[in-house]
Amino acid sequence: MTHAQGLQRWGRVLVLALATMAADYARAHDVIPFENVTASSGTFPFGGLQREVLVLRPTVPAAGKLPAVVMLHYLRGRADDMADLIQAGKLVRDHGVVVILPEAVNGEWNYGSGSIIGLTTPLIDDVGFLSALITKSVNDYSLDATRIYMAGYSNGGLMTMRFACDHPEQIAAGGNVARVTMKSSDSKACKPKLPTPMLLVNGTADPVSTYDGTKLLGVTATLSAPATAAFWAKLDGCAATPVGSTLADAIADGTTVHLDTFSGCTALDEVDFYTVNGGGHTWPGSIGFSPGLGITSEDFDATSLLWSFFQRFSRH
């Protein structure tokens, strides 16, 4: 190799390194800033890939080990967009919780038998990746391993349910917003070792996750949203009949909200199922980013609701 070739080679390496640093910097600094919230991004090696991860944490944390929420983005989403959509920084600022936002390969979580949209996604072990990421994050950020929670929007919600099926010991509770309808094949494969409290939200006018489920040649392909809630309630040993209530219709946005609470569960667990009447494939309380997904209810804030639910549970 000549001196000129060597310089050219190292020049390419330097450009690549600077580009990587710039991408990481942009990912963290594109997030809407909040007081006392530090955003950092980087890569986590797993399965021969460098996986992108965004972390929001208190700049001045409270004493002791911190709780954390792993937030999973929607199909084709990015970590920074998800953070802004759900106002993750506000959650960190107001409650001192760490929010971990990993990214899926090609923007699609490999949640189970139905995740075959991308050509490479079925080969990705996202369950293993999330499990390893939680273990590493507990050590890196001084987290309380008994108070790790997971929630997701749409494709990320399905991934959350899959993780609760396979590794319930690593999360104290789970949440699924706007993709509650579980594939029948995935429900049959779900045999968790432990019950997991779940908070579920689905709109009746969701154009993506059909509230009443789907059938293929007369056979149930996707459970309805109520049937999925009942499925998790049964796994958690809850009473078969929920207690129903209606939330205050705070804003005239075309939606109303009904809550079914499955209580009396094993180990003080609970399953809360929110039906957003007239609601679309959206994150309640956020700014709707696509009119084609339907109405975004403003009668409650899904992010705050999730944390209010999560903080009641720990995995001892």
How far apart CA 238 and CA 269 sit, in angstroms, is 8
115 occurs within a structural domain: yes
Of residues 232 and 122, the one with the higher pLDDT is 232
46 occurs within a structural domain: yes
Which domain covers residue 120, as residue numbers?
A: 24-310
Which amino acid belongs to residue 227?
Answer: A
19 occurs within a structural domain: no
Find the mean pLDDT for residues 45-52.
95
Instruction: Say which CATH number the domain at 288 has.
Output: 3.40.50.1820
Three-state SS for 61-74 is: CCCCCEEEEEEECC
| pLDDT on residue 122 | 60
| pLDDT on residue 217 | 87
How far apart CA 83 and CA 103 sit, in angstroms, is 11
8 occurs within a structural domain: no
17 occurs within a structural domain: no
151 occurs within a structural domain: yes
| pLDDT on residue 316 | 83
Task: Indicate if the pLDDT at residue 265 is higher than 60.
Answer: yes
258 contacts 246 by C-beta, under 8 angstroms: yes
153 occurs within a structural domain: yes
Task: Name the domain count of the chain.
Answer: 1
1 occurs within a structural domain: no
Which of 104-113, 243-252, 274-283 shows the lowest per-residue confidence on average (mean pLDDT)?
104-113
How confident is the prediction for the chain on average, in pLDDT?
A: 89
pTM for the model stands at 0.89
How far apart CA 203 and CA 220 sit, in angstroms, is 20
3-state secondary structure (DSSP) of residue 155:
helix
